[in-house]
């Protein structure tokens, strides 16, 4: 195995973690309406470790810095949305961490990522409200909408365009 192949594998480690944890976290979010820190925090640390390793190895300090800035920006945006009870902190940490991953490969894609998340969720929510209004379904409006499914779908969409 060449050094280049090892570096590529290191860059894919966080993505593999996300793929492996997607279904279990999806089930937890649908049942309990939360994204556990036991999943998100190890992903954050693993991603930072991988990106730091690659920055040292390849001299990609700009990619590391921009990725961290995207992470901080998404955290700031998420904290504001959490303040208004529009977004849970588990979703905030998850979206910011996935933004950190996407930003390593493409900063513009990481800026589009939250727009896709919110676009998908709004499309589904408004569709459900419309179906409720015309009487095809009966919504329980006291429950919150799990955002993790939309975060994962948006992450998959972004990564499918980035990694070829």
Condensed to tens digits (0 to 9), the pLDDT of residues 36-67 reads 999 999 999 999 999 999 999 999 999 999 99
DSSP state, residue 59? -
The total of other beta-carbon atoms located within 10 Å of residue 80's CB is 12
User: 0.95 cut: is pTM over it?
Assistant: no
Residue 135 has pLDDT above 90, yes or no: no
**What is the domain range of residue 15?**
3-162
**pLDDT tens string 76-131:** 999 999 998 888 999 999 999 999 999 999 999 999 999 999 998 888 888 878 88
Higher local confidence (pLDDT), 27 or 163? 27
Higher local confidence (pLDDT), 163 or 66? 66
Do residues 104 and 63 lie in contact, with contact meaning Cβ atoms separated by under 8 Å? Answer: yes
Is the C-alpha dihedral spanning 131, 135, 139, 141 positive or negative? positive
Tokens of 98: 């996935």
Collapse the DSSP code of 148 into the 3-class scheme (helix H, G, I; strand E, B; otherwise coil) and give the result.
helix
pLDDT of residue 39: 96
The total of other beta-carbon atoms located within 10 Å of residue 4's CB is 9
**pLDDT tens string 77-91:** 999 999 988 889 999
Mean pLDDT confidence for 65-80:
97
Domain count, the chain: 1
Residue 142 has pLDDT above 70, yes or no: no
Element (H, E) at 3: helix 3-32
Element (H, E) at 140: none
pLDDT of residue 130: 85
């Amino acid at each position: 195995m060449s050094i280049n192949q090892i570096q590529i594998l290191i860059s894919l480690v966080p993505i593999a973690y996300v793929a492996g944890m997607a279904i279990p976290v999806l089930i937890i979010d649908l049942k309990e309406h939360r994204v556990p820190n036991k999943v998100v925090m190890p992903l954050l640390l693993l991603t930072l470790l991988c990106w730091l390793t690659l920055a040292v190895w390849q001299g990609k300090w700009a990619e590391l810095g921009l990725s961290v800035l995207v992470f901080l920006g998404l955290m700031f945006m998420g904290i504001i949305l959490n303040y208004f009870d529009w977004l849970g902190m588990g979703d905030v940490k998850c979206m910011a961490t996935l933004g950190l991953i996407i930003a390593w490969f493409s900063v513009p894609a990481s800026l589009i990522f939250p727009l896709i998340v919110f676009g998908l969720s709004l499309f589904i929510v408004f569709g459900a409200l419309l179906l409720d209004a015309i009487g095809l379904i009966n919504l329980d409006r006291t429950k919150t909408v799990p955002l993790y499914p939309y975060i994962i779908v948006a992450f998959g969409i972004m990564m499918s365009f980035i990694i070829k």
